[in-house]
Amino acid sequence: GIAQLHQLRGRVGRGQHASRCFLVGDPSTADGEARLEALVASTDGFELAEVDLDLRGEGTIMGERQKGRNDLKLASLRRDKEWVAAARQVAIEIIDADEELDRHPGLADELELLLGDDDADYLMKD
């Protein structure tokens, strides 16, 4: 998908020598063509994620289904994207200041209750 290609492109040129990344593809669908066009047009990961969201749909948050309708009960990633962005920023600030949530035990408990041990561990890994 777009995210994997964007990550690959970002790994090219990390050394001391000049480098280039060539993306060669033969998309068989309009969505595939749109994905390649987005990669050519932007190097912004958030912008590319928006394109991917528009093309795939929201999918499930923690399940295996990666396209279609989401499983959120209170919000829509599209309709409420400003709220989602604000919540994301607050979450980043909390994690930056307290990576293990030692000073936020209630939040740590809710995270484990909501997600279970495996998903909570996945979200907390580097």
Region for residue 13 given its phi and psi (left: phi exceeds 0; alpha: psi -120 to 50; beta: otherwise): left
- What HEC string does 71-97 produce? CCCCCCCCCCHHHHHHHHHHHHHHHHH
pLDDT band of 74, cuts 50, 70, 90:
low
96 within a domain of the structure (yes/no): yes
64 within a domain of the structure (yes/no): no
pLDDT digit string, tens, across residues 80-92: 889 888 988 998 9
66 within a domain of the structure (yes/no): no
Instruction: Write out the residue range of the structural domain in which residue 119 sits.
Output: 73-126
Number of domains within the chain: 2
Shared domain check, 12 and 49: yes
Let me know: does 55 contact 37? Beta carbons within 8 Å.
no
67 within a domain of the structure (yes/no): no
Shared domain check, 112 and 78: yes
Shared domain check, 11 and 42: yes
Shared domain check, 4 and 51: yes
Predicted TM-score (pTM) of the model is: 0.45
Residue 68 pairs with which residues in a beta bridge?
A: 57
